[in-house]
């Protein structure tokens, strides 16, 4: 049965050492490049009758070392853990990134994280993996440490998509630029956001197209301004949806919002205060200013028709 352990480096003595195949990384988004490492670790572990372990970090190292410089997240940590478990990892170790951890030398990191608490027998990392104080350790360092501590090291080349190296940074950039098709292909699934439905200005309802204003927060990656087709769900209830991301230039908006119009929902559906999850499956168009309300309404109806065509029948 899979398990999750969360703690600082000083807590790792609570783990029971079991011969393990380990992979390690930030794993934000658990994209297809990450999945290559993770599946390799799981398959190798199970072939050898060992434990498959994924080590990830929280918070992001930049949030500790250079506060304010950390990138927005593709996933909150709970979603990341769930995605790791879904790949049949036996143990997800969420290691608290701290100044103490950052000051460990490569040798200390290997001893205190990989060897003593986990009994690592094989370590699988990307070829660009760096670790230890000031990122002094690399794959060569790991091989040298492995020879001393009795574990093998496998370095896996970066996954490429359409000739472009796949990384969390590249996925963030693609989403921010509205390159949704590439981003979703990189993730291996539609990008998803969730947040509480909060009160907006109510303009959608006054023009006959009610929307749910989703408070996403500044720590998440939000796709570039535009109109998208996808799904929206609350507590297992799912609708097709059209989502607008942007400033609402027709109304001279100043604040960026994520507004979701549910297709085929009961007009009396009340979402205020509830957690709404939204997928971004197709980019319909860029955000634009219209000459008036009538032109805007006509375009929204065209967006809805386009979304129905792209999304097909009611979501299962």
Pairing state between β 237-246 and 226-234: antiparallel
**What is the CB neighbour count within 10 angstroms for residue 251?**
13
Sorted by sequence, the CB contacts under 8 Å of residue 49 that are 6+ apart come out as none
Sign, CA dihedral 77-81-84-90, equals: positive
Specify whether the CB–CB gap between 83 and 25 falls below 8 A: no
Pairwise CA distance, residues 52 & 2, whole Å: 9
Beta strands per DSSP E along the chain: 3-7, 20-24, 51-58, 91-96, 120-126, 152-156, 160-161, 164-165, 191-198, 212-215, 226-234, 237-246, 257-262, 275-280, 282-285
Instruction: Name 241's bridge partners.
Output: 230, 262
Task: Name the catalytic one among 259, 275, 281, 287.
Answer: 259
Pairwise CA distance, residues 100 & 9, whole Å: 8
Residue 259 a catalytic site member:
yes
Pairwise CA distance, residues 183 & 178, whole Å: 9
Torsion (CA) 28, 31, 36, 40 in degrees, nearest 10? 50
Catalytic residues: 259
């Amino acid at each position: 049965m899979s398990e999750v352990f969360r703690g600082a480096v000083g807590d790792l003595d609570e783990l029971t050492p079991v011969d393990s195949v380990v992979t390690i990384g930030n794993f934000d988004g658990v994209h297809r490049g990450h999945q290559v490492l993770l599946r390799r670790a799981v398959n190798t572990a199970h072939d050898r009758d060992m434990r498959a372990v994924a080590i990830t970090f929280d918070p992001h190292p930049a949030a500790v070392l250079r506060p304010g410089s950390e990138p927005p997240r593709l996933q909150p940590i709970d979603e990341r853990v769930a995605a790791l478990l879904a790949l049949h990892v036996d143990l997800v170790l969420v290691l608290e990134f701290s100044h103490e951890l950052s000051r460990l030398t490569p040798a200390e990191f290997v001893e205190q994280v990989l060897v003593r608490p986990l009994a690592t027998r094989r370590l699988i990392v990307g070829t660009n993996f760096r670790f230890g104080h000031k990122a002094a350790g690399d794959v060569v360092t790991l091989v040298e440490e492995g020879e001393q501590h009795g574990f093998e090291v496998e370095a896996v080349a970066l996954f490429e998509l359409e000739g472009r190296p796949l990384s969390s940074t590249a996925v963030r950039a693609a989403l921010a630029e509205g390159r949704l098709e590439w981003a979703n292909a990189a993730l291996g699934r539609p990008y998803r956001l969730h947040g509480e439905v909060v009160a907006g200005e109510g303009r959608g309802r006054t023009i006959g197209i009610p929307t749910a204003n989703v408070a996403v927060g500044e720590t998440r990656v939000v796709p570039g301004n535009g109109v998208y087709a996808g799904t929206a769900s609350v507590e297992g209830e799912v609708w097709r949806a059209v989502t607008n991301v942007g400033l609402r230039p027709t109304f001279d908006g100043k604040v960026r919002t994520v507004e979701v119009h549910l297709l085929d929902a009961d007009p009396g559906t009340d979402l205020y205060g509830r957690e709404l999850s939204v997928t971004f499956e197709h980019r319909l168009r860029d955000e634009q200013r219209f000459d008036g309300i009538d032109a805007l309404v006509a375009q929204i109806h065209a967006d809805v028709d386009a979304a129905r065509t792209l999304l097909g029948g009611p979501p299962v």
